[in-house]
Structure 1
Amino acid sequence: MKNQHFFVIFIIASFYFSLSYSQVEKIEPPFWWSNMHHQELQLMCYGKDISKYDVEIDGVTITETTKTENPNYIFITINTKDITSSNIVIDFKNQGKVVTSREYEFKDRKANSKYRKGFDSSDVIYLLMPDRFSDGNSKKHSRSDIAEKEDRTNPAGRHGGDIQGIINHLDYIKDLGATALWSTPLLEDNEPEYSYHTYAQSDLYNIDPRYGSNEEYKKLAQELHKLDMKLIMDYITNHWGSKHWMIKDLPTKDWIHQWPEGFKRSNYRMTTQFDNHASQIDAKGCMNGWFDVSMPDINQNNPLVLQYIIQNAIWWIEYADLDGLRVDTYSYNDKEAIAQWTKAIMEEYPNFNIVGEVWMHDQAQIAYWQKDSKVGAIGNFNSHLPSVMDFTLYNTVTTMFNENDDVWDKGMIRAYNNFANDFLYPDINNILIFAGNHDTNRINEVYQSNIDKYKMIMTLILTTRGIPQIYYGDEIGMLGNRDKSGDGDIRRDFPGGWEEDEQNAFLPSSVKKGRTNSQEAFHTFTKKVLNWRKQSQAIHRGKLLQYIPFHNVYVYFRYTEEKSVMVIINNNKNDQTIDVSRFTEGVKTFTKGLDILTGTTIDTTKDFQVSSQTSMILELQ
């Protein structure tokens, strides 16, 4: 009898021991919404040894339960068609008895959320790095388990910029004339060093506490919307960080791309994605190789992984009320899987916009990745990706303004030739154009602070087809050379973003310790063109008519049926005469042009001069 009592006590103790150490630690997504377009929802449940349990949800149809080789995971797929905003109860059972339960919330979806309007060619995007822009909350608390602390003396370290700092200076960005904000990633990155760029993420559902909180990110979107501005999230599908909690306890071995030697760096040869002659080993080396040692390569071919990142992106769009996504290293993903990811998001939000980073140097190769590409169609591939980044124009911009002479294949002919290849793109107005970003040498470094060249560059970027993006600090002439001084040099702190800064470039030169005269000159020009651009339908929606450059002078028109803008960029060292008779097709019956840069009116019925290395933007009247 004594042994029987001991056995009963042992069984009860074992039950409570298993109860204590088999609880559900995480369910992701942490909550969801009713009335979504996609009705199947995959819940990732995590906890020690929870795969021993069966799962039931009263009144909800479970379409699939997946248990992996790791006993700490259960993936539950449910049908949400008839679920209204409410809390459902997920029961985890052992031999028919409930061991533990978790409530799961479905929220009301925002009215017309499905039809949100994404960024487009009427916008100008302001790109910033939050760690380097402004510290708005110096008293914020980092969790004790966050590895890297702030150190402004280290160019590659955390400097303390945060979401509140961005919010504090939205009026500055608005006043400049930008209409959308792209911040490099804000999700948690818990690498022990070089974590400030936040591209090695350790938690896909939480903002890094050094930047703030999820609620503060939502507030950022709200404050932007109050100013009639848009928020674009930098999203990463290709890789996670080595410190991500799931990487430390993989659901399946093939959740990431594994290599016998452990770490294998990508060969970065994205041409293998469409090269008919590419070897399999080279293609695998690009797509399955890791982007860096701290960035394990995610296997989107695993259906659990693919559904996880689809839902995560949708969750952030819905939760934070986003207006767009910029997808990092888009063309390194498995192309069929990333196409499914993109298609799923665009089905949920048909008026949304997503731009993919396709860092290639040939228009056909970039155009391959845009939705409904004629190039991709040759191989029966459609990425469903609305927008791509125009890296060939970037290459052109960083070269041609140092080529002042009238040469057959140099100077402004490079711009003409770049746009001559626009026939490759299915949607030329939905292409992101830029003169620099967080991965390139500063444009004012390239041209050694030459404001005349800056003005010509920005005239082109802000008036040609596509969606312009400017990089924070370029508008005040900031410098930086990654080739000589590393990435930290092109990602310097914006002056005035920290209380201890001696100078505040957020303020005009008329204010004590405000912008210097040199900074003011860059800022004034940028502000003038950006704010004019806001109301120019010819620039937003117009067609492009370009003329072959003569004497290193490039002339083009942006026009609709009612409006026309004539742009002249004289990259010659000498003044040049514009022969109006050559441009009759563009000038049409307009007789005057208001130069928005100088405020002067030009008679377009007779020849006129353009000063050396200057530009003109003429609103034809």
Structure 2
Amino acid sequence: MKYNISILMLMVLTSSMGQVQRIEPPFWWTGMKNPEIQVLVHGNQISDLQPEFTPEITIKKIEKTENPNYLFITLDTKNLQPGSYKIKFKKGKRTISTMDYKFLERREGSADRKGFDSSDVIYLLMPDRFANGDPSNDSHPKTIELTNRSDQGGRHGGDIQGIIDHLDYIDELGATTLWSTPLTLDNEKTYSYHGYACSDLYQMDPRYGSNEDFIRLTEELHQRGMKHIMDYVPNHWGLSHWLIQDLPAQDWLHYWEGGENGFKRSNYIQTSQIDPYASTYDAKGCMDGWFDYTMPDMNESNPMVVNYLVQNAIWWIENANLDGMRVDTYPYNDKEGITEWVTRVMEEYPNLNIVGEIFMHETPHIAFWQKDSAIGAIQSFNSNLPSVMDFPLYDIFPEVFNQSEQNWGDGLFKVYDHLTLDFLYPNINNLLIMMGNHDVNRINQAFDGDLDKYKLAISLLATLRGIPQIYYGDEIGVLGEKSKGDGDIRRDFPGGWPDDPQNAFLESGRTENQKAYFNYSKKLLNWRKSKSVIHKGKTLHFSPTDNVYVYFRYFPDKPQETVMVVLNNSIKDQQVDMTRFKEGIQNHQNGKNAITGETVSLGTMLEIKAKSSLVLELN
């Protein structure tokens, strides 16, 4: 029998109608604090189907959207037993499609997991540029962009296995926590290596590895007593995301009439979120504008979008046993929507830590976003976000150590002045502090490769309040200039590829200059690990004189744990009059140099070399 083309097409269409193609989350857990889970079901023309669970699960609500390819099923899992459940999707009495859905048992103590904190040092890396542990996945048949290491903005082949292979290096350095830029699928045609245009929130990019590899990364970290932070991006997804290609409803993203594919670029005026005089035009232009053409802006004022993001974040924390999250472009999200997101995630994990990227340049603008901020309270707002990034401190790092003359307000006085605003933060110990990351000039580029300036900078970073974060390669003096393109500040780590001419992961493979950078960093960061006075102590500082800055970290009731830091940022050796610092020195007679182990007398005068630091444990 012969069929014409139109009849064949109708048969194919009819046979595919009602077939469920995807369920998210792909599985869940019993025993969660919030027993409700909203299951997204996607398939061709499935909105008229009726779900039925065997064994029975209470269905609290079934929601449809304007797109008939979706069903949203809200389940009550209270007292549900772990196991595999069968979902039948029925039309009348006829079963159209059948799927299995699992509810797993949670790890013991999962809800009480402890997040990263000020006792940690975070190591930030870009996986594509760190190390290639599995060359077989450099390109993948299910992804578009192929590996091309000669292209500064292309895929270079680094992966999860490469990170695992070099965890001992990170551990040896003294870092305790890993933060990798996003590893989830980014399937844009070009420039996809950075990962911030996610194409599937539930899948690792196969060029990095599998979901199981990501879980194994956490396991390997935990075996070393280290922690794992996931980079999470709720504000925007990739244009190629399967949900963007078949939206449940148009109001899942901010669609701009007249723009190609609904695109209108953000004005990036983050202050409009908190400015009491801001026009709606400016605020909407920041919050609803797209971060880039390939990054549609998600609408967190839509409860379904927020719920999807909450469940996805919890799924990764539970599934990959994470210790925290770093949230990208935090103030670009809908303010109320992202607050609901962080509140609900923290309700499930009250001891977790989440840090938001608040890339702003004034302390009050940063402090506004930290949980229980008095500044936020002025506008009747509480973000519930535990940790924020101290970008104003970062801003002065490249300047301070290039200013050998203090003058008025220059040099180390900028650090002193900056810290005088710490009263604006409700929790100064939960600030993430850094001297560089994947979006800005390399710190060693700012210092023109000057090792002494780097030593001063990392001595400051490691002894201030907060959670230090270092950027991969800074610890061996890697350079990179933002004006030359993002690829220049995201250089491949030397030794991460089998054909690299040197391997800086190994002491034997480092140049003498690289050894000097690494050894100083290693000594300081490993010393910091056990110093609770650095993690949680108070700060006493004295205004810099002749570009010499002196401060103390101390516990009022434990004077034996006091640490004194002396930074000489001038180009001349200095004789420092110690009588001025009696308030901090108290009855201590000498101190132990944290780097050399030498005893330093705390007499009337202290000699300190030009462009150098002393970190002293007083005893």
Give matches, 1:582-601, under 5 Å. Answer: 582-601=580-599
Aligned to 1:351, what secondary structure does the other structure show?
coil
Per the alignment, residue 572 of structure 1 pairs with 570
Cα distance in structure 2, aligned partners of 1:614 and 1:488: 32
Per the alignment, residue 490 of structure 1 pairs with 489
**Deviation at 1:406?**
2.7
Cα distance in structure 2, aligned partners of 1:377 and 1:409: 31
Q: Deviations over 1:518-576 (max 9, x none)?
A: 11110011001011011111111111111111111111111123211000101111111
2:349 is the alignment partner of 1:354: no
Per the alignment, residue 221 of structure 2 pairs with 224
**Deviation at 1:141?**
6.7
Whether contact under 8 Å (1:355, 1:389) holds in the other structure is yes
2:188 is the alignment partner of 1:199: no
Per the alignment, residue 100 of structure 2 pairs with 103
Cα distance in structure 1, aligned partners of 2:453 and 2:581: 25
Cα distance in structure 1, aligned partners of 2:301 and 2:229: 26
Per the alignment, residue 302 of structure 1 pairs with 302
Cα distance in structure 2, aligned partners of 1:26 and 1:18: 19
Identify the range of structure 1 (348-357 vs 50-59) with the bigger mean alpha-carbon deviation: 50-59
Cα distance in structure 2, aligned partners of 1:348 and 1:85: 19
Q: Quick one: structure 1 residues 160 and 17, their matched pair in 2 at CA, closer, same or farther if it must change by over 3 Å?
A: closer
Per the alignment, residue 382 of structure 1 pairs with 382
Q: 1:533 aligns with which of 528, 537, 540?
A: 528
Per the alignment, residue 30 of structure 2 pairs with 34
Q: Deviations over 1:497-536 (max 9, x none)?
A: 000001100011xx2xx00011111001100101101111
Per the alignment, residue 524 of structure 1 pairs with 519
**Deviation at 1:14?**
9.1
2:446 is the alignment partner of 1:450: no
Q: 1:210 aligns with which of 181, 190, 207?
A: 207
Q: Deviations over 1:295-325 (max 9, x none)?
A: 0000011111110000000000000000010
Give, as a single letter, the amino acid of the residue that structure 2 aligns with 1:486. Answer: G
Give matches, 1:608-619, under 5 Å. Answer: 608-619=606-617
**Unaligned 5+ runs, structure 1:** 1-12
Cα distance in structure 1, aligned partners of 2:192 and 2:170: 26
**Deviation at 1:580?**
1.4
**Unaligned 5+ runs, structure 2:** 1-8
Give, as a single letter, the amino acid of the residue that structure 2 aligns with 1:64. Answer: K
Give, as a single letter, the amino acid of the residue that structure 1 aligns with 2:540. Answer: L
2:328 is the alignment partner of 1:328: yes
Give matches, 1:231-246, under 5 Å. Answer: 231-246=228-243
**Deviation at 1:50?**
0.3
Cα distance in structure 2, aligned partners of 1:404 and 1:471: 25
**Deviation at 1:266?**
0.3
Per the alignment, residue 459 of structure 1 pairs with 459
Identify the range of structure 1 (387-396 vs 578-587) with the bigger mean alpha-carbon deviation: 578-587
Per the alignment, residue 5 of structure 2 pairs with none
**Deviation at 1:88?**
2.0
Cα distance in structure 2, aligned partners of 1:94 and 1:406: 78
Per the alignment, residue 116 of structure 2 pairs with 119
Identify the range of structure 1 (562-571 vs 605-614) with the bigger mean alpha-carbon deviation: 605-614
Give, as a single letter, the amino acid of the residue that structure 2 aligns with 1:539. Answer: I
**Deviation at 1:89?**
2.2
Per the alignment, residue 541 of structure 2 pairs with 546
**Deviation at 1:216?**
0.4
What percent identity do the matched residue pairs reach? 54
Per the alignment, residue 54 of structure 1 pairs with 50
Whether contact under 8 Å (2:140, 2:146) holds in the other structure is no
Q: Supply the RMSD in Å over aligned alpha carbons.
A: 1.3
Per the alignment, residue 550 of structure 2 pairs with 555
Whether contact under 8 Å (1:256, 1:297) holds in the other structure is yes
Whether contact under 8 Å (1:19, 1:99) holds in the other structure is no
**Deviation at 1:368?**
0.3
Per the alignment, residue 5 of structure 1 pairs with none
Per the alignment, residue 618 of structure 2 pairs with 620
Cα distance in structure 2, aligned partners of 1:549 and 1:308: 51
**Deviation at 1:602?**
1.2
Q: 1:173 aligns with which of 170, 180, 185?
A: 170
Give matches, 1:139-150, under 5 Å. Answer: 139-140=136-137, 142-150=139-147
Give, as a single letter, the amino acid of the residue that structure 1 aligns with 2:520. Answer: F
Whether contact under 8 Å (2:138, 2:146) holds in the other structure is no
**Deviation at 1:16?**
9.9
Cα distance in structure 2, aligned partners of 1:142 and 1:100: 34
Cα distance in structure 1, aligned partners of 2:242 and 2:129: 27
Per the alignment, residue 468 of structure 1 pairs with 468
Aligned to 1:52, what secondary structure does the other structure show?
coil
**Deviation at 1:84?**
1.4
Cα distance in structure 2, aligned partners of 1:476 and 1:261: 49
Give, as a single letter, the amino acid of the residue that structure 2 aligns with 1:528. Answer: K
Aligned to 2:346, what secondary structure does the other structure show?
helix
Give, as a single letter, the amino acid of the residue that structure 1 aligns with 2:381. Answer: F
**Deviation at 1:142?**
4.3
Per the alignment, residue 77 of structure 2 pairs with 80
Cα distance in structure 1, aligned partners of 2:431 and 2:15: 54
Aligned to 2:232, what secondary structure does the other structure show?
strand
Q: Deviations over 1:216-250 (max 9, x none)?
A: 00000000000000000000010000000110010
Compute the TM-score of the two structures, normalised by the length of structure 2: 0.96
Give, as a single letter, the amino acid of the residue that structure 2 aligns with 1:599. Answer: G
**Deviation at 1:427?**
0.1
Give, as a single letter, the amino acid of the residue that structure 2 aligns with 1:445. Answer: Q
Per the alignment, residue 365 of structure 1 pairs with 365
Per the alignment, residue 391 of structure 2 pairs with 391
Identify the range of structure 1 (96-105 vs 169-178) with the bigger mean alpha-carbon deviation: 96-105
Identify the range of structure 1 (136-145 vs 393-402) with the bigger mean alpha-carbon deviation: 136-145
Cα distance in structure 1, aligned partners of 2:539 and 2:290: 40
Per the alignment, residue 515 of structure 1 pairs with 510
**Deviation at 1:15?**
10
Whether contact under 8 Å (1:272, 1:283) holds in the other structure is yes
Give matches, 1:130-141, under 5 Å. Answer: 130-140=127-137
Q: Quick one: structure 1 residues 390 and 17, their matched pair in 2 at CA, closer, same or farther if it must change by over 3 Å?
A: closer
Identify the range of structure 1 (138-147 vs 588-597) with the bigger mean alpha-carbon deviation: 138-147
Identify the range of structure 1 (529-538 vs 51-60) with the bigger mean alpha-carbon deviation: 51-60
Whether contact under 8 Å (1:19, 1:100) holds in the other structure is no
Per the alignment, residue 3 of structure 2 pairs with none
Whether contact under 8 Å (1:117, 1:352) holds in the other structure is yes
Cα distance in structure 1, aligned partners of 2:11 and 2:156: 49
Per the alignment, residue 319 of structure 2 pairs with 319
Cα distance in structure 2, aligned partners of 1:371 and 1:17: 52
Give, as a single letter, the amino acid of the residue that structure 1 aligns with 2:241. Answer: H
Cα distance in structure 2, aligned partners of 1:99 and 1:165: 44
Aligned to 1:433, what secondary structure does the other structure show?
strand
Whether contact under 8 Å (1:135, 1:497) holds in the other structure is yes
Cα distance in structure 1, aligned partners of 2:30 and 2:88: 21
Cα distance in structure 2, aligned partners of 1:357 and 1:384: 14
Q: Deviations over 1:435-483 (max 9, x none)?
A: 0000010000001000000000000001000000000000000000011
2:150 is the alignment partner of 1:153: yes
Cα distance in structure 2, aligned partners of 1:421 and 1:14: 69
Whether contact under 8 Å (2:24, 2:41) holds in the other structure is yes
**Deviation at 1:95?**
2.0
Cα distance in structure 2, aligned partners of 1:14 and 1:61: 37
Aligned to 1:581, what secondary structure does the other structure show?
helix
Give, as a single letter, the amino acid of the residue that structure 2 aligns with 1:295. Answer: M
Aligned to 1:25, what secondary structure does the other structure show?
strand
